[in-house]
Copies of this chain bind each other. A is one copy, B any other.
Amino acid sequence: MKPAISDSLEENSLYYFANARSLAFFGASNRGETMGSIIFMSLMESGYRGDIYPVHPKEQSIRGLPAYPSADNLPLVPDLAVLVLPTKVVPEVLEACGRKGIRQVIIVSGGFKEIGGEGIALEEDLKRIIHKYGIRVVGPNCLGIVNTRHRINTTPMLLRSEPGSVGLVSQSGSFVAQMFEYLSHLGLAFSTAFSVGNEMDVDLVDCMEYLEVCPDTKVIALYIEGIKRGREFLQAAQRISCKKPVVAFYVGGSETGKKAAFSHTGAMSGPDELYTGMFRQCGILRAYSVTELFDYCWALARLPEPGGRGVVIQTHSGGPGASAADVCGRSGLELPALTEGTRKALAEHLPHTASMGNPVDSTFTQDPRSFFFDIPRIILEDENLDFLLIYLFLPEDAIKQRLIVAGFSEEDTEKMIADIIRSGSDAFIKVLEKTKKPVIGFTYLSIREAFIKKMIQTGMPVFQDPARAVAAIGAVVDYYEFKNRMLREA
């Protein structure tokens, strides 16, 4: 019995999971390093905005909060219950939650269908209970939900991220919990992320439909080991893709991936070609790794709709420029020539060794102002340009060395380096603010380098290899081509 689709977030059946105003927590204690205690601390330290009611059979309080002996004794009916308990006590606690009137439950505990045998029978018991009371369950065998706005976090990892725009539905808890830091280096964060576990009740499709109507979510990422409701998935994905991009990393397609997925969540996978076809049909962009999954999300969350597939590359180094050009060519992107007007305007900012082809290569001798302001400003006005792909190499170390060569003392350089990086990034940010065209960076430096980090924080995707940048650009082009075709045909 699935509720009808609604455009309203509040009417979505998962609303009180991701926006719980209060929750009962089963499985935290005051001693020991149990999973329950770790998750409980994680929830508290992540800044959850609602009320937490720990439930414990013996303790009066749990880590500073008043505790209740059972669900029956709770002073109110919380929006959500979180169960991190030994497998065998889960059914009775779930039953007690039902009696109390709790209608949203996250079961983190494992030991059910995924281990086979008696686990399958135990999961059937859970199903009977939720049908009896009309409870919705996320899990079991999952890490539940992360919502960065309301600071809900039922994973063991501390949530520090500001509210973000990437929605995630994952058949692996690791790809929720272990990605906080990864995403933060990209200047990204989850809006809401679901670890769906065994999908006993709430499944991939339900969560996608929540993210569909979630206004914080700009792009939806999926980690898929197998799909249960194929037809519904297809319909939902096709509808959602016309509103916001969906990127999927599917690992059940190869024989080895299929086996691994099965022993992980007991999901049944289908052949790779079937999924490839299905994804294409409903406009889902397919990623082949976690890196690709979040690279595509990065570009799709940050970049405006492009006018076409024409990429202009700006560089001051031949090799990186040629590498970017090569991979553009392989990926079906175009490298348009600049117009006569652009070339004329550029001429006064480029040395005689420069190339005004595409890549625009200013060669080594460039001052930061011209590279980060004049040149991109001029190029971005070119009517043939749909994307600007720019090589970024402004390492603190090298700047320092140049300053020392120029005669400055070690002490003087610190502040000067900060100034140089700031003036470069300020100039470039001005250019970015004035253009409506997508701008993407690439570098071989660490994304923790000061200049790169600054640009990423500003919202510009900067990829550590042009191959990654170009794949992400390709995803953006593919997505808007799909969307516009669907909208025309509708």
Contacts and interface: CB of A to CB of B under 8 A. Distances in A.
Interface of A: 31-33, 35, 37-38, 41-42, 45, 110-111, 115, 156-158, 170-175, 178-179, 181-182, 185, 223, 225, 249, 251-257, 259-261, 263-265, 288-292, 313, 317-330, 335, 352-353, 355, 357-359, 361, 363-365, 393, 395, 397-398, 401-402, 404-407, 444-446, 448, 464-468
A178 B317 contact: yes
B364 A325 contact: no
5 contacts: A157-B401, A174-B319, A254-B330, A260-B313, A290-B444
Contacts of A407: 31
Contact of A38 (B181, B288, B357, B401): B401
Contacts of A467: 288-289, 291-292
Given A317-B172, A321-B264, A398-B156, A289 B357 contact: no
B115 A466 contact: no
B466 A260 contact: no
A89 B446 CA distance: 39
Given A158-B397, A178-B393, A357 B255 contact: no
A257 B325 contact: yes
B264 A111 contact: no
A261 B157 contact: no
A247 to B, nearest CB: 15
A28 B170 CA distance: 58
**Number of copies of this protein chain within its complex:** 2
A49 to B, nearest CB: 20
Nearest to A326: B257
Contacts of A157: 397-398, 401
Contacts of A320: 172, 174-175, 178
A405 B170 contact: no
Contact of A319 (B111, B171, B253): B171
Contacts of A292: 467
Nearest to A35: B364
A158 B320 CA distance: 20
A256 B33 contact: no
B288 A359 contact: no
A319 B223 contact: yes
B181 A255 contact: no
A289 B327 CA distance: 8
A467 to B, nearest CB: 4
A393 B251 CA distance: 20
B406 A32 contact: yes
A123 B32 CA distance: 75
Nearest to A257: B326
Contact of A251 (B173, B178, B261, B326): B326
A261 B395 contact: no
Nearest to A330: B254
B259 A325 contact: yes
A392 B28 CA distance: 27
Given A251-B323, A263-B361, A319-B174, A465 B401 contact: no
Contacts of A365: 35
A363 B115 CA distance: 12
Contacts of A35: 364-365
Nearest to A267: B322
A290 B327 CA distance: 11
Nearest to A110: B353
Nearest to A111: B353
Contacts of A329: 254-257
Nearest to A470: B289
A326 B256 contact: yes
A357 B260 contact: yes
A38 B405 contact: yes
Contacts of A397: 157-158, 181
Contacts of A444: 178-179, 182, 290
Nearest to A176: B319
Nearest to A445: B181
A319 B446 contact: no
A443 to B, nearest CB: 9
Nearest to A225: B322
A419 to B, nearest CB: 16
**Shortest 9 CB-CB contacts between residues of A and residues of B:** A172-B319, A257-B326, A254-B329, A256-B329, A264-B318, A260-B325, A174-B317, A251-B326, A289-B467
Contact of A405 (B37, B225, B324, B357): B37
Nearest to A256: B329
A318 B257 contact: no
